[in-house]
Amino acid sequence: MAFHLLKSTNLFTNNNQVEQCSQLKHLCKSLRITWIDPSGTVIFDNDFLVAQLSNHSEREEIITALKSGEGQAVRYSSTLNEDTFYYAVCLDNGTILRLATEAKSLGSIILSATPIITLVLLLIILACIALSHMLTSQLIKPIEQMARNIANKDFQATYKELAPFSHIIRTQHIRAAKERQDFTANVSHELKIPLTAISGYAELLAADMVDKEQKMHFYQEIQKCAARLIRLFNDIIRLAEIDRSEREPLFSSVDLAEIVKECLTSLKVNADQRQVKLILQA
């Protein structure tokens, strides 16, 4: 296209080379323009002084242009210190007009585009991270709502696929709450029995309503109730440790008859005060 623009002007119709060189100097500054006579002598070059340039008659593109009207070649230019693409055309007056530009290889093109490619990839990665975070939040939000409202009977899962799962979790949640209530009630009951017995024995001893032999018996019973309280507290601590560490529960053999006998002994004082007779059959 640059050649057609140059040839379409009247630049080469006169013989005033000084004027022609002056006009060429201001054309196509992005390309190297060289004007050569048929003998290979450089008439004009817009990048270098003519005196610095050697004869171009042996250049491949010049030889081809003189033979067929136009020629081209790619070679390393010692003047420009880079691979250069040359395109030459033989003009009507016999001179040769040659344009030259850097011959960019695929590697150099990729290398020059590396900053842009890196920036685009970085933007894509950031966009993917932001999009994945947004999508993950949207997906997890209904599950978090289900976790917060799992105890609400009227709560409906956003995802129908999670409805059976939420029902199972709700059932387990209700069961766990009931088990905690039952455990609290049982612990309260177990603690109340020895404490009631100790309180009863202490009242009788404080009122001096028993003889010496009964006092000794009451002291022993108070000691047994205190030991039982200590065992209960130790059991509660052990249960808390098992629940915290999720270890396998520990099982041991117990004598139910002995345990019931201890309970009756602890309750005997209060039962006697209320005229209740306790009988053990084992």
Q: Is 209 left (phi over 0), alpha (psi -120 to 50) or beta?
A: alpha
The reported pLDDT for the residue numbered 22 is: 65
Helix (H, G, I), strand (E, B) or coil at 216: helix
Among 90, 110, 107, which Cα is nearest to 98's?
A: 90
Query: What local confidence, expressed as pLDDT, does residue 1 receive?
Result: 46
pLDDT tens track, the chain, 282 positions: 445 545 544 556 556 666 666 666 666 667 888 888 889 898 888 888 888 888 988 888 889 989 998 888 888 777 666 778 898 888 888 888 888 887 766 666 677 778 888 999 999 999 999 999 888 888 777 777 766 666 566 666 566 666 676 677 777 777 877 877 887 788 888 888 888 888 888 888 888 777 878 888 888 888 888 888 888 888 788 777 766 665 555 667 777 777 777 777 767 767 777 777 877 776
- Give residue 36's identity as a one-letter amino acid code: I
Q: How far is CA 15 from CA 21, 46, 141, in A?
A: 11, 19, 84
pLDDT at 34: 86
Residue with tokens 């070059």: 45
Instruction: Supply the pLDDT for residue 127.
Output: 94
Q: Which residues of 15-43 are buried (b: 16+ CB within 10 A; e: fewer)?
A: eeeeebeebbeeeeeebbbbbbeeebebb
- CATH class, range 1-104: alpha beta
pLDDT at position 161: 64
The pLDDT, as a whole number, for residue 8 is: 45
Give pLDDT, residue 102. Answer: 77
The pLDDT value given to residue 109: 67
pLDDT for 244: 67
Task: Given CATH 1.10.287.130, say whether it is the number of domain 165-243.
Answer: yes
Structure tokens at 249: 């529960």
Claim: this prediction has a pTM higher than 0.85: no
* pLDDT confidence of residue 79: 65
Report the pLDDT value the prediction gives residue 9, as an integer from 0 to 100. 46
Q: What angle do CA 36, 38, 44 make, to 5 degrees?
A: 15
Which sequence spans correspond to the domains of the chain? 1-104, 107-149, 165-243
Model confidence pLDDT, tens digit, residues 198-208: 888 888 888 87
Where is 267: in which H helix or E strand?
A: helix 256-273
